[in-house]
Structure 1
Amino acid sequence: MTAPGAPSIHASAVRVGDRAVLIRGPSGSGKSRLAFGLIVAGRAGQIPPVELIGDDRVFLEQRDGRLRVRPVPGLAGMIEVRGLGLRRVPAAPEAVVGLVVDLAAEDAARLPEAAALRMMLEGVELPRVPVGPGYDPLPLVVAALTTGDAIAPGTQLDDCRKDFGNHMSHTIVTE
């Protein structure tokens, strides 16, 4: 349980399967929109079932080497849907954070360095998805939840020819 009087943080969180996705970013960056998009993707079967933990304000607590997130009591089960206002949705009481998404991240890159995809938060190392300003975060987060690394981020293949439009592999490009 979070200590009485402990401050909440400005973030949203959803539980995807048995782990939480913690969504951070400045006001207006799309935290609620991403949380609701993940809920819809879960309902569509694109990712495991998703439940809201908290929208806009959540509590974090490091316990037993894991970072847990839970809602602020007055906001539990409510999410802002722009154009509709506050809406009620099924909510989870807490979950262990398994992924941090940083919206409007200054260090977002097309091929990020490995260090940008990990972070320390409250003494716990976590995977991270930095999303640049103006980019739709939903496909990136779904990819992070449903795929594994092919090669280390930022690694250039020895046979990569920079004169092609596609830099992934020369076998993809036809001359």
Structure 2
Amino acid sequence: MTGETHNIHATAISVDGLGLAFVGPSGSGKSSLAFDCLAEARLANIPAALISDDRVIISLENGQVFASCPEPIRGLIELRYSGIVSVDHVDRAELSYIVLPVGADERHRLPPDDEQAELIAGLSLPVVRVPMWSRFPLSLILARIRSLAANRQFTR
């Protein structure tokens, strides 16, 4: 799989070197949630930037997963009902987690243990679920990632 590229429907951001891919069906709030995370990072003086919105190019190199953006949409993010805006962006970053936006109709309050989701065929990443109504989505994501890391260390 190394050297191959895959164009997927997602939004990807980098927060202080941590790559997050927001995945879900069209209209699920991926872009809005990613934008909220970028805004929250900016307020907290945490370096963060858009990698790509709507279409993300996934590549694998030496066991690492990277995301980049098709040229025509570089630095642009669609904010539903507000339009397309330009934001700080990076050309490419390593991905570490998949973020799944959760709607109000989700029935399960707790995520499955060690949940992973397939980013592309044969490649899965750990998942962080985030309610669309979260006031501080980045804080929630980072808290969950710290918890996942602590659980991995505890079970070793």
TM-score range, shorter chain: 0.7 to 0.9
Aligned to 1:144: 141
CA contact (8 A) 1:55 1:75 kept: yes
Shift in Å at residue 113 of structure 1? Answer: 2.3
* Counterparts of residues 1-175 of structure 1 (less than 5 Å): 6-45=5-44, 48-104=46-102, 109-116=108-115, 118-122=116-120, 123-131=122-130, 135-136=132-133, 139-146=136-143, 148-149=146-147
Kindly provide the amino acid, as one letter, of the partner of residue 65 in structure 1. G
Extract unaligned runs of 5+ from structure 1. 153-175
**2 CA distance for matches of 1:34 and 1:14?**
11
Q: Give the whole-Å Cα distance in 2 for the aligned partners of 1:138 and 1:92.
A: 25
Q: 1:108 to 1:10 in 2, by over 3 A?
A: farther
Residue aligning to 2:154? none
Map of 1:161 onto structure 2: none
Q: CA deviation at 1:143?
A: 1.9
- Name the CA distance, whole Å, in 1 between partners of 2:89 and 2:124: 26
The one-letter amino acid paired with 1:15 is S
Larger Rg: 1
SS class of match (2:19): strand
Long gaps (5+) in structure 2:
152-156
Output the amino acid matched with 1:145. Answer: L
CA RMSD of aligned residues (A): 2.9
Q: Is the 8 A contact 2:33 2:101 kept in 1?
A: no
Distance change in 2, residues 1:13/1:109 (3 Å): same
Q: How far apart are 1:18 and its partner, in Å?
A: 0.8
More moved, 37-46 vs 10-19:
37-46
Higher strand proportion? 2
Distance 2:110 2:70 in 1: 36
State the TM-score, normalized to the length of structure 1: 0.70
Q: How many residues align?
A: 146
Task: For 1:10, give the aligned amino acid.
Answer: H
Misfit runs of 4+, over 6 Å: 105-108
CA contact (8 A) 1:2 1:59 kept: no
Larger relative contact order (C-alpha < 8 A, sep ≥ 6)? 2
Shift of 1:140: 5.0
